Amino acid sequence: MKFGIGVIGATGFIGTPYRKEIREAAGDADIIALCARRRGPLESAAREDGASLVTDDWREVVEHPDVDLVLVVTPDALHHEVVMACVKLGKHMICDKPIGANAREAYDMWSAYKGSGLGHFVPFWSRYVPVFARTKELVADGLIGEIKGVICRWQNPRPDAIPFTWRDNAELSAGGSVGDVGSHAYDTARWIIGDEAKRVVAHAAVISPAKPDLGEPNLGEALDWGGSHAPAEASKTRLGTAYDYGTILVEFASGAFGTIRVAHSRYLRKGLSPDMELHGTEGSLGIDRASSTISLVRPGSVPEVIDTVPEIAVNKFAEYAFPGVRERADGTGDGHPGLDDGWRVQLFTDAAVLSAQRGAWVDLDELNPEAS
C-alpha cells in the first residue's frame, strides 16, 4: 500500500521535518496536499514536495480523492474536528500528541477509529529510542524484579529570549509542558513497565517570565530568534498561560509509585541525572539518553554501566509510522502506538492538570468514560 499524503499544519515546527522524511520515503508515499495558514511558506513547501494542492482550508485536504492518509500536526485544540472528519471520509490518520484538547476528545477519536478498518499512528517516538527499547527488554526479562518505583525527568529548556508561541497559550495547548513532554515521559514509562497510572497528584505552574511577543511564529522560528537575541530586544512581551513546569506523583495500578518532572522553562536544565530510574525488588536501572547508557545497581553494590545502545539515524516514517498505520489497518497487531495509546496518555496528563488546579489527588477513573 502506497499512501497519498495530506499534511495539515504542513509548514510548522513538526510538519516541516515530517515532510522531509516522507519525501525520503518515496517508495511508501507521495505528498498530495498541504494545508497551512501562511501562503508564502506553504507555496515553498509545495515546490519541495511536489504537492498538487495547497490550501488554508483543512477540509480540502481531507476531502481530496487522492489523499488516503492525513497527518494532523496543528495545535492540540484543533485536532478533534479534523480527525473525526478523517474517519468519516475513510482516511488513515497520523495525529501528533496530545491528540486532543482533553481526554474526552481523545476518547472520541479512539472510539471512532476502533474497529473501523482504518490505520492510525501517534508519534510517541521515544519508544523507538534504542536505550529505552533495550530497557524494556531488561525489565521484561526480570533483571530488576518487580517494579516498585519510577522516576522520570523530561526537561527540555528553551532559550532565554524565546518568543511566545501557541504552546504558551492554554487555549490551544493541552496542558502545556504537562501535555507536551509529559506525554512522552508517561508513555515511555507505561510502555517499559507495562502498567497504567491509577491516580496522580501534581504541582504545575508558569515559572518563566513574560516572553517576547512577535506575533505568531512557529516553534522553529521562535527557537531561532530566541537563540540569537536577548529578551530586552523585544518591544513588547506576553506572559504564558500554559504550564511550562510540572512535577507529578503517580500511583500505578500495580501499587508502584512514581515521580515525573517535566519542563520547558529555561530554569530546569538536563544532563545532571539520568532521564529515567526504575527501582525493582532485585535492583535498579538508570537510563541516560544523552550517553545512551543503562546502569544497574544491586543492593549492597555500586552502580555499573551494563549496556550502551547508541541512537542510530533512521527514517521514522519508513521504519515506524507507515508500518504502524498498515498494521492497524489490516488488524495484524498493535505493536506501534496509536489512538488508544494517545487516549490513555491524555487521560493521565488531564488528571495531572486537574490535580494541579485542585491541589489534590485525582483518580484517573474520574475522567475515564469507560469507568462511568
Q: What percent of the chain has pLDDT over 90?
A: 98
Q: For the residues 57-73, what does the mean pLDDT come to?
A: 98
Summarised one tens digit per residue, pLDDT across range 336-353 is 999 999 999 999 999 999
| CATH superfamily, with its number, for domain 3-123+315-332 | NAD(P)-binding Rossmann-like Domain (3.40.50.720)
Q: How far apart are CA 260 and CA 285, in angstroms?
A: 16
Position 102 confidence tier, pLDDT thresholds 50, 70, 90: very high
Question: What's the pTM value of the predicted model, to 2 decimals?
Answer: 0.97
Is 18 within 8 Å of 70 (Cβ atoms)?
no
Please name which of 234, 74, 60, 355 lies closest in space to residue 367, comparing C-alpha atoms: 355
Provide the mean pLDDT of the chain: 97
Question: 3-123+315-332 and 126-314+349-363 share one CATH topology?
Answer: no
Residue 1 pLDDT > 90: no
Given a cut of 80, whether residue 110 has pLDDT beyond it is yes
Looking at residues 143-162, what average pLDDT do you find? 97
pLDDT bracket for residue 333 (50, 70, 90): confident
Residues 245, 237: Cα–Cα separation, whole Å: 20
Three cell numbers, residue 114: 476502533
Q: Which CATH superfamily is domain 126-314+349-363 in?
A: Dihydrodipicolinate Reductase; domain 2 (3.30.360.10)
Predicted confidence (pLDDT) at residue 111 exceeds the cutoff of 80: yes
Confidence of residue 303 (pLDDT cuts 50, 70, 90): very high
Which tens digits make up the pLDDT trace of 156-201? 999 999 999 999 999 999 999 999 999 999 999 999 999 999 999 9
Check whether 266 has a pLDDT greater than 90.
Answer: yes
**Residues 148, 279: contact at Cβ < 8 Å?**
yes
* DSSP annotation of 164: P
Query: 175 or 334, which is more confident?
Result: 175
Determine the 3-state secondary structure of 111 from DSSP: helix
Before 65, cis peptide (omega within 30)?
Answer: no
Give the cell for residue 83: 480527525
Pick from 174, 140, 163, 253: nearest CA to 210: 163
The C-alpha atoms of residue 293 and residue 278 are separated, in whole angstroms, by 14
Cα 147 from Cα 101, distance rounded (Å): 32
Domain boundaries, the chain: 3-123+315-332, 126-314+349-363
pLDDT at res. 280: 98
